[in-house]
Structure 1
Amino acid sequence: MVNTVRYARVFGGAVAILVGVSGCAGSAEPCAGVGVVTQVGVFFAQDGYDGLAGASVRLCAHGRCVKDRIPAEDVTSVNLPLPDGIGPDLGTVRFRVTRKGSTKPFIDASTDKRLSHQSDGCGGGAYNGALAFTKEGGLTATVPKSVSDAWIKQVRTAASRRA
């Protein structure tokens, strides 16, 4: 159930962003300003790690943190909402993973991240950004194509199972 909600939220948010950007910008109709969220997220590619289902994941930036459990999946997305009005200079993002039953993180990585402005196509928008963590590359301020492709495939596969 948690995975279903997570996939629906992520997929729904992506659709809302696409509709907001494409629908409002080209329309003569009044704009609803739908779609963009101020946040930072990490795509965690679990390839090369065993037994992470149920592990704790913590993402911190701009004096805020979010904590969650890792589901049994190939790529996990962890998102941290940020305050509206934040600018592009986010600063340091810290990503930690602690195995179930342990108190010490076995992954503890940080990097600086600059956010990008995403327009809602209606005169507004928000700053957001994505990072990735892979066993080979550690925490990177950009998402490699292989990780984003794996994430998209995972979301589509989950959606087709429910259809």
Structure 2
Amino acid sequence: MPRIELKTKIRAKKEIVFDLARSIDLHKISTEHTDEQAVDGKTSGLIGAGEWVTWRAKHLGVYQNLTSRITEFKRPDFFADEMVKGAFKHFRHEHHFAEVDGKTLMTDFFDYTSPFGLLGVLADRLFLKNYMKGLLVKRNDTIKEFAESERWKEVLSS
């Protein structure tokens, strides 16, 4: 099972970074290039414990739906979301937040299992893991951009 680990240092309060990471509206902004839309469940605002969202997006040339649920939640330190329905056999995305030297360290652990057995393992090695990492890096860059400026107010004030 592949694991992607990302660490992002952000010059902003932990509470702001935490809330940006669970913002449906900011997620839409960070995935504009995939035409990602929240189509069911929690479709705007801040997602919380036990809530779920279904995303529709174009990945690798194909439109797909993926439903994930917030399975663990401890504001402002940690939350996890897990796939309920979608293209993967399994995925779990952990979001950790810590204060370090006056900044917020946001750490992501993204564990997933591709479908299709050995073909899925081959796809992981050839392109899928890098593709998924690229999506997460783009998302984190967007969180950092909004958190380190006044733009966070655009998505958290509503």
Give TM class, smaller chain: 0.3 to 0.5
TM-score between both structures, scaled by the size of structure 2: 0.33
RCO greater where, 1 or 2, for CA within 8 Å and sep 6 or more? 2
Report the structure number with the largest CA radius of gyration: 1
TM-score between both structures, scaled by the size of structure 1: 0.32
Which has a greater percent of helix? 2
